[in-house]
Amino acid sequence: MTKRTVSLSSGEVEVDIIRSSRKTVALYVRPGGTLLIRAPWFVPVRVLMKFAAGKAGWIERQRTRLKDFITPGALLAVSDGSTVPFMGRQLEVQVIRGLSRKVIHADGRLRLYVKDDAIPEELAGMTEAWYLREAKAYLPARARMLAARHSDHLPAPATVNVRKMKRRWGTCHTGGDIWLNRELMKKDPELIDYVIIHELCHLVHHNHGKEYYALLGMIIPDFREKRKQLNQAILV
């Protein structure tokens, strides 16, 4: 493997070149922002570097996009035949060569379609992006549904936002804004509901005093057990 650098508007970016008997050149932006070029043996390095420089705009866009769902050094181990957690279940991963790059969840499997040979970082990045999409589709809608279900005791949140968090499952901000951790999509639905209601209760009581726990206990009598299950999990 040969290492080079390419100049972008954001600075110098490291490029790894891996050669094989393949017939085409493929460029990947890895989680963390470095580049990988897979190329045939016969293509000169200068040609590969010129190719990468010509893709500068695309590279910058991909690097920006990856920052939204990847924390460098904290990647899932994703490969063909491995499993990933999703809402209390384990999904079998299938890596499939296809005409387009996409992720499909069906029949208890997570199918990762790639155009070319996939590196582990690419598969992890695709899976992380899928988790974020699923979280954005599910968590805000679920929060509003639970607020409506318990409207006698809980107000509706002003906004419900999703991102990956290192140390919290959720937070509630002044003004009624709630943030939920994308990693909740790896947990049982009842634990997801616990976290959401935990944050909705903070719209009424902004601390962890007796009144807060009385409200939480009225809605989720076994909240202490739910909290214990979550605290046994490690956020990565």
Residue 27 in this model has a pLDDT that exceeds 70: yes
What's residue 175's pLDDT?
Answer: 86
* Predicted TM-score of the model (pTM): 0.68
Residue 145 pLDDT level (bands cut at 50, 70, 90) = very high
Residue 74 in this model has a pLDDT that exceeds 60: no
Residue 76 in this model has a pLDDT that exceeds 50: yes
Domain ranges of the chain: 2-67, 83-129, 131-231
What's the average model confidence in pLDDT over 99-122? 86
Q: 131-231 has which CATH code?
A: 3.30.2010.10
Pair of tokens at residue 115: 């155009």
Distance CA 112, CA 175 (A): 40
